[in-house]
Amino acid sequence: DADVTQTPRNRITKTGKRIMLECSQTKGHDRMYWYRQDPGLGLQLIYYSFDVKDINKGEISDGYSVSRQAQAKFSLSLESAIPNQTALYFCATTGSSYNSPLHFGNGTRLTVT
């Protein structure tokens, strides 16, 4: 089983719809992140959380919200989807030790029409 699981893998939605992307991890890590990737570009940080009670905005948080339901679960919501939110979305987690790398899920491909 994957350490970081994202659902759904693919989603097509219409402008104005609310949508939630879910992420769960089995690594037991406290830190979780949501990134967005547009074609040919790197990963931009949307939100991050260092524990269940800690939520922080990243560089491109406008139009997004998150919920950290438990240590293992971190959901990303688009309250009213717009076409320029069409992208590949990645969830990731890392531990607190200096040797702990970032573990990514396999992504959710979102298309907003």
Partner 1 sequence: DAKTTQPPSMDCAEGRAANLPCNHSTISGNEYVYWYRQIHSQGPQYIIHGLKNNETNEMASLIITEDRKSSTLILPHATLRDTAVYYCIVRVFNDYKLSFGAGTTVTVRA
Q: What residues line the site for partner 1 (CB under 8 A)?
A: 4, 31, 33, 35, 40-45, 48, 56, 58-59, 88, 90, 92, 94-98, 100-107, 109
- Cα-to-chain-centroid distance, residue 18: 15
CB-based contact 58:46 (threshold 8 Å): yes
DSSP letter for 99, please: T
When the beta carbons of 11 and 103 are compared against partner 1, the nearer one is 103
When the beta carbons of 42 and 70 are compared against partner 1, the nearer one is 42
